[in-house]
Structures are given as C-alpha cells and as structure tokens.
A and B are shown apart, each in its own frame.
Chain A
Amino acid sequence: MRSMGVAGAGKSRAVKREITVRVDGIPRRLSIDTRMTLLDALRERLGVTSPKKGCDHGQCGACTVLSGGRRVLSCLTLAVTQDGAEVVTAEGLTAEAATPDGRHAGRDLHPVQRAFIDCDALQCGYCTPGQVVSAVGALDEFEKGWPSAVTKGLGAPRLDRAEVAERMSGNLCRCAAYVNIVTAVQQAAGAAAAQRTAETEVAG
C-alpha cells in the first residue's frame, strides 16, 4: 500500500459564529462551528453533559432539552439557531423546583426527578436525563390540552397509561424501565395537581 497526496488540496475552513445561550439559567457565550449541534455545543464545548448522545439522529430522545420551554432533540438542533435561547437540561430542572421565595433552592430535585427515583424508573441512567426532561415537557403539553395520537374524542385527555406511553415514546430505554417510567410520570403529574390544589386553597 502507498499513501498518496492530492495535488493542490487547500485548507478548508469551518464557518464560525458567536452565539449566547442561557443554559440552566447561566448565559454562555461561545464561538461555534456552524455545523455544530446544540448537543455537541453543550457536551463538548460547555461541558454540560446532562443531555446524552444515544444516536445523533433524532431517534432515541437521550439528548432531549427544553428550549424556550418546549422539549427539543438537541442533536437535531443546530447550535447557531439557539442564539438568545433559554435552554434547560435535566441538571437545570432543580432550579425550577425552587419556590419563588427560594425556600427549596439548592439541589432540590424536580418532582419528576423525585418520582423517577421513587418508582425506579431508571437503570443504567443513560436515557434518564432525556426521559426526565421529556416528561416535564410532556406534562406541560398535556396541561395545555394538546392531544396525542391516542387521545380519544375532543375533550380534555386523561393521563392514563396509554397517554403517557404515547407521549413518552420518543425516548427509548434499552434497559426498558418503561413500566416504571409511566408510573413515575403519572405520580409526578398527580403530585403537581395536588400542589396546585393546595396553592389554590391557600390563595383562596
């Protein structure tokens, strides 16, 4: 075998852009290759490794983050499109768990995270941050009354097994914690509903 050069091969240069993204509440400024995904920018440039790479093709959900409050696959999102965006990873959900007066500030877990631990909705943990963020996004969509493929009729959907499973099916889990994930999401939704009722009563 011999190695051989191509005559006149020139330097090819990546296109760079400066962007600022708020990640888990902290503004982060960085210069990126425009081909870089949000997932790679988070993991490889910012050292934010809570979102995971399972496929890099939008097929597994391990990379799920919230952007502008909605769940997105960060491996299918170019970082350059996120200039000025508010990105939240599973690690940053703890801040959301804090009440406005800061009583639960610190490492308090989000109710979804607590429910995942309670229900053993994880094993190896690699899909877990994506599952957790996806569940937070899914519950918000459900709250807003968005239907899913299995929602029957036009009334408000009920959060039964089939609804949760459908809404969480963008997140694969090879350890197959699915049964417990569904229970955890329902438990977290129940806790959130109870919390709201209590707040209404206090306010009322």
Chain B
Amino acid sequence: MTFPSEPDAVGRDLPRRDGAAKVLGTATYAYETPLANAAYLHAVQATIARGRVTELDTTAAEALDGVVAVLTPSSAERLASTEDRELAVLQDEEVAFRGQVVALVVADSSEVARHAAALVRVSYAQVAHDAELRADREDLYAPETVNPGLPTDTAEGDVDAAMAAAEVTVEETYTTAMYHNNPMEPHATTALWDPAGDGFLTLWDSTQGVHATRAAMASVFGLDEARVRVVCPYVGGGFGSKGQPHVNVVLAALAARAVPGRPVRLALTRQQMFSLAGYRTPTIQRCRLGADRDGTLTALAIDVVEQTSRIKEFAEQTGVPARMMYASPNRRTTHRLAALDVPVPSWMRAPGECPGMFGPEVAMDELAECLGIDPIELRIRNEPRVEPGSGKPFSTRNLVGCLREGAVRFGWSERDPRPGARRRGDWLVGTGVATSTYPVARMPKSTATIRREGDRYVAEIGAADLGTGTWTTLPQIAADALGVPVDSVDVRIGDTDYPMASVAGGSSGMTTWGSAVVEAARAFRTKYGTAPLDGDEASGTVGPPDDRYAMHAFGAQFAEAHVHRDTGEVRVPRLLGVFATGRIINPRTARSQFIGGMTMGLSMALHEKSVLDPRTGHVVNHDFAEYHITANADVDEIEAHWLPEHDPHANAMGSKGIGEIGIVGTAAAVSNAVWHACGVRVRDLPITLDKVLHALEAQSER
C-alpha cells in the first residue's frame, strides 16, 4: 500500500497534542530539564569588533563565592575540529566581531555566574575594523554558491539590450534591513558530561535538528557519535536560527566537560542573541524590469549585494525567486558579498525568498503603475508555462488561482488604481498585492520506525516541533499510512535515540519525515499484515525527490494600509493571504503557520531593523524594547486561505511545506498598499513614518 488517495486523518482539524502541556507550562524546554545540582554558565563577550585579547584577568571572578570554573583561551580544552570558526570558541585570542565570546564562567547560581562574568577584565590590541555594507565597496566578491548550494549568478539572453529596446522600464534599488530571528525561547543548552568509561555527552539543546546538532558536536569535540546524545522535545521557536548549532552549544559542552558529572545550564541573554545566534543579512537589490506596452516582460534582472562575516561565509540566496517567478526571455541574477567584521549571518525564515520577493514584487507594482495595468493582471500575463531556466514542468503551479481567489475575497475589483485618492477621517487608505513562493524541499536522509506497542502504534523519528505542529501532524500521516484511527498512534520525536531525522529547515520537515513514516508503515504492513503482535517493528527511509518536475508552493498576499495624513503613521488593518501548497495535513496548525508567517512579514514591513553601528560593530538596539517585533495591538485582521491542491509529485501525502511561505511577499504587499494610500514608494524597509512624511507635507502645501 502507499498513501490513501482519500485520506482520513490527514486534512482533519485536530487540536495540538502538546496543547495542554504548553498552556500549563509543563512542556520542558532545554534550559528547564530537571536535573539536580546544576551549575550555570555565563559568557564574557568582546567589546571590540576586531583585534586580539592581550590580557584576561579572571582573579576577581574566581574569587567570588560560588564560582566553579572560569574558562579562557588558555584554559579551555583544545577542540578536535576548529574548521567551523563560528564554533571554534576559546581556541585563540583573535576577535573577529563584537560580542564574540572570549571567556566563560560557571557558577552555582545564574546570579553569581553573571556577576563573575562582569568581573572578568579583558584587555585588547584593537585593529581597525570594517562593518559597513555598501553597494559601492570595491571588495565585493562572488561566492562559489549561494545557500543552499545554488548557482551564484544566472544569465539568459541579453538583459541590457532588452532594457534598451523595452517600451517601458523600471530600474530601482530596494533594500531590506538586518533582521534577528528572535525566537521567544533564547538559544539554550543544558549539558552533562558523564566521565565514566570513555565519557558520554548529553545535550538538552533547543534545536531544529537533534541529529544535525549531534553530528556537529561530535566533530567539534572529536567524539564518536555514539557517545553524544541530543534531546529536544520542544523548541520555543527557531525560525532558522536553531537550524544550525551556534556557539551556545559548544560553550555548554566545554563547561560540562570542565565539571564532569555536573549538569551545566546556559541560556543566552536576549542581548547576546544579537551577536551569537545568527541573523538575516541586510540586502541591497538593484532590480530592472523591461516590458512591452501590453505588459509582457522582456527583461528581468536583480543584482544583490549583501554581507557575510569574515570568519564564516553565509550567502543568502536573495536573487533566487526572480529566477522562476515570471516568464522573461532575458534574465540576469547575481549575488555579491562583502565579508565584514560582523557576527555570522545565517538562516532566517525563508532565507532568499523572504528578502528576494521584496524588491522584485514592488518593482512589478511600479511597472503596473507605469503601464496602467492592474497589478494582478500584469502578473497573470507573465505566467510561465514551464520553470524558467530549467525548462521543467511545474508539478503544480496555482499562482493565478491564488491571485484570483484572493482578489475576490479581498474585494479587489472595487479598487480605484489611483494613488492617494481615498481618505477615511485623518487616514489615507490604500490596498496592495504581492505574490509569494517557496520551493518544495526534500532532505536526502531520514528514517522512521513504526512499532506495535500493546494495542497502539508508535512512530519514532528524531524530528522537531518548533511550534509547527509535528507532534500532531506526524500521527495523522502515520495513521493514514497504516490505515488505522489517528487516536491509536503515538509519535516520539526530538531525540537522537530515535532514528535519524533531517533538520527542520527549508520547509522540508513534513515532506521528508512524513515520507519516511509512510515508507515505514508500508514496510510494517508488508511484514506483519493487519494483525501485528506486540513488539513488531519496521523501518522506512525517505526516497529521492522526483527530479522531473519543478516543485514550488505559491501564494498571493493582499494588504490594506492606512497612512495618517498629519503624522505619517502607517497601520495595516487587514492582511489576506491565499496559498497553494499542496494538501494541508491539519488546517488548524496550518492556518497558524500561515498567519504567523504573514504577521512576521508585517513586522518586517513596519517595525524590524537591527541597527548596526559601523563605528563599533555593535547592534545597538539589541533588545525587545528597541528591536520592536509586532505586538498584539499592531495586528488587526489577518486571514489565511488556501486552494484545494494535491501535488502527486511532491511526496506521498501530496503536501508542500508551509512554514516559510507566509513571510514571503508580505512586506512588498504592504509597501504597495502604502504607495496606493499616499503615493510614496517606500523602497527601503522598514516603512516608517519619516519615509512618507515629506510627501504628505508637500501634498498639504498644495
């Protein structure tokens, strides 16, 4: 058997299985693992952006009552692998970015650890640093590939010639800010080194992938993987920043190995997360569109400039969605990086697609304006028949359906296209649209085991639930694959003691783990039929993707923006998204994913910006008071809908990943709505009142 074409459990609106534990607060997160006699770790951070530590005076810290250990580059153990320089902490005296860890303190209480860390005196030999991203830097370079291994540049046809010949062109530069993931649960690890025998390291770590974390730590510490266990039943949000281990895991393990037999707890402070837990690079996007009078694109180009850190490269794939979104015979996409003395950037919800659908989608709105064509119609006219570049057929592509359905639900047909033409009281009112997309990813490795335990079925796989709903949705898939009621199935996830699972990243979780579970169910039924005995078990492994098709999810987002005519304050009372993302496993958890993504997109549109002072290399607004994320009162109506879609090529379930697409396109829809409200094109995020005020003043003078 495979997966039933008319599933029973899949598609049902079931409440979260971990709901009660979460509303009570009894779900155990990494820092909270109940272990007796725990010690607490606090990190000491560099206050320069580049140079060397010349002196570390730990005397006062060590003298404090309750301090257990102080580790510095001279006292910390030598790591087996320092290849990943983000993780090679306390191995030498070099400082490569402000906030880098230069020492750590372990103490009997978190108060003492923090006090002692403040007493560690550090002297530096400072070297001139460079932490300023500009598009005109002379040292920009082309990385070998962009995340996650895609070509850096692409070129088809002749963009320059097509632009010169085009009847209408748009040529503008757009920027997105530096963003920090800021999951509510800080990056946290509890580590225990059991010295018995050859030693055994247990890490209760807040991670999107227990197996990936184990592999990384085994390599860093030169341990056999069999001697490392990583446990993580619940993740208090990650949004990519817990997709790859950051330095907190290494610090906790280093400290635990220095105090064998005693558990060590570490939670980064909110402030520390701005330098130690990854972030999204700011991007500068030069976008060019050329079109005929009827709106057919003849040229489409995006040249991206962004930053990475000097010690470890991360190349955000910002130009990638422009490669497949619309048809155009002439196309060019490039990425150039500046390697700066800054913290290491990393994954943040929809890396590539999220920033990369800002510039191009505002540019499309600008083109629609120039042409006098409805922005929805413009997109429909440029719908490709096959995937541009590869020439492959799409497994399913329902972008047009999303635009049409959204237009009806949002009431788009009544829209007067003129900007600045509607007023409600003191507010200028506008509406805007933009599209969303996200690739369907399948990781190469994941295994699940299904076992009969008494009268129940248990599926085990080291998968993660970051709020995505895995605890609830995997049993739905297992139940249908086994042909049993969902109530008779349990899952166990979040532990390297279970079979190997890929990281929860790239919206690949359900496609990958779900496929492994379906395979395990198939093997189980083949082996034991429908009357298995207690203890019977079988395993299954995810197969390769179907390479004949181009697989992407699509969506359309609509925004209503209000701009205050005197103050320029921008409010977004209404967001509406329609998505085409294959079969929905659980509408309740799915809706939360879409709405959560859209709200984060709203946050990006209006509020978020990490302010890195190039003079110090320091993110100055490094807390929730100054790095504002959308709060409850910033949100009004947010609706997510989806088209009935079943993608037979994506995976057995017919589903596509949904964790990231919700944030893609939101900021562009908001910017387009703001233009429609007040006539100002805001090409630099976030859309703050200072960016529209000048135009409002000019209007009122007229």
Taking Cβ atoms with an 8 Å cutoff, the residues of A that contact B are 1-6, 9-14, 33, 35-36, 40, 43-44, 47, 49-57, 59-60, 62, 89-91, 93-94, 107, 109, 113, 116-118, 120, 122-129, 132, 150, 161-162, 164-166, 168-169, 171-182
Contacts and interface: CB of A to CB of B under 8 A. Distances in A.
Contacts of A49: 25, 28-29, 32
Given A6-B60, A9-B59, A117-B15, A44 B109 contact: yes
A46 to B, nearest CB: 12
Interface in B182-207: 182-186
Contacts of B567: none
A84 to B, nearest CB: 22
Nearest to A7: B59
Interface stretch (B65-73, B216-224, B507-515): B65-73
11 contacts: A11-B63, A35-B115, A50-B24, A53-B186, A55-B270, A109-B24, A120-B16, A124-B237, A165-B635, A174-B600, A176-B597
- Assign chain B's interface to a size class: 35 or more
B632 A182 contact: yes
The residue in A93, A117, A126 that gathers the most chain B C-beta atoms within 10 A of its C-beta is A126
B623 A9 contact: no
Nearest to B66: A14
B54 A94 contact: no
Given A1-B74, A36-B109, A178-B630, 6 more contacts: A35-B111, A56-B269, A109-B24, A122-B22, A122-B467, A124-B184
B169 interface: no
B306 to A, nearest CB: 23
A116 B19 contact: yes
Contacts of A113: 20, 23-24
Contacts of A12: 63-65
B236 A3 contact: no
B111 A91 contact: no
A180 B592 contact: yes
The residue in B64, B93, B115, B631 that gathers the most chain A C-beta atoms within 10 A of its C-beta is B631
B25 A52 contact: yes
B638 interface: yes
B55 interface: yes
A204 to B, nearest CB: 33
B599 interface: yes
A174 B184 contact: yes
B29 A122 contact: no
B25 A91 contact: yes
Contact of A125 (B22, B66, B631): B22
Given A1-B73, A40-B110, A109 B632 contact: no
A74 B195 CA distance: 37
A174 B239 contact: yes
A178 B29 contact: no
Given A60-B624, A120-B16, A90 B25 contact: yes
Contact of B111 (A14, A166, A172): A14
Nearest to B125: A1
Interface of B: 15-16, 18-29, 31-32, 34, 40, 52-60, 63-66, 72-74, 93, 109-112, 115, 182-186, 234-237, 239, 267, 269-270, 466-469, 588-589, 591-593, 595-600, 603, 623-625, 629-633, 635-638
A16 to B, nearest CB: 11
Contact of A176 (B34, B58, B600): B600
Contacts of A13: 65
B185 A54 contact: yes
A174 B183 contact: yes
Contact of B24 (A9, A62, A91): A91
A9 B625 contact: no
Nearest to B38: A44
Nearest to B64: A12
A115 to B, nearest CB: 9
B57 A3 contact: yes
Contacts of A59: 270, 623-625
B468 A169 contact: no
A131 B510 CA distance: 28
Nearest to A13: B65
Contacts of A166: 632-633
A11 B237 contact: no
Contacts of B596: 123, 175-177
Contact of B32 (A43, A93, A150): A43
Contacts of B109: 33, 36, 44
Given A3-B74, A6-B59, A52-B25, A47 B34 contact: yes
A109 to B, nearest CB: 7
A123 B623 contact: no
Nearest to B61: A9
A57 B625 contact: yes
Contacts of B34: 47
Contacts of A51: 25
A127 to B, nearest CB: 5
Contact of A50 (B18, B25, B55, B468): B25
A162 B55 CA distance: 55
A93 to B, nearest CB: 8
Contacts of A36: 109, 111
Contact of A178 (B72, B110, B270, B632): B632
A3 B56 contact: yes
B146 to A, nearest CB: 26
A129 B23 contact: yes
Contact of B633 (A60, A93, A165, A180): A165
Contacts of A120: 15-16, 588-589, 591-592
Contacts of B184: 52, 54, 60, 62, 124, 126-127, 172-175
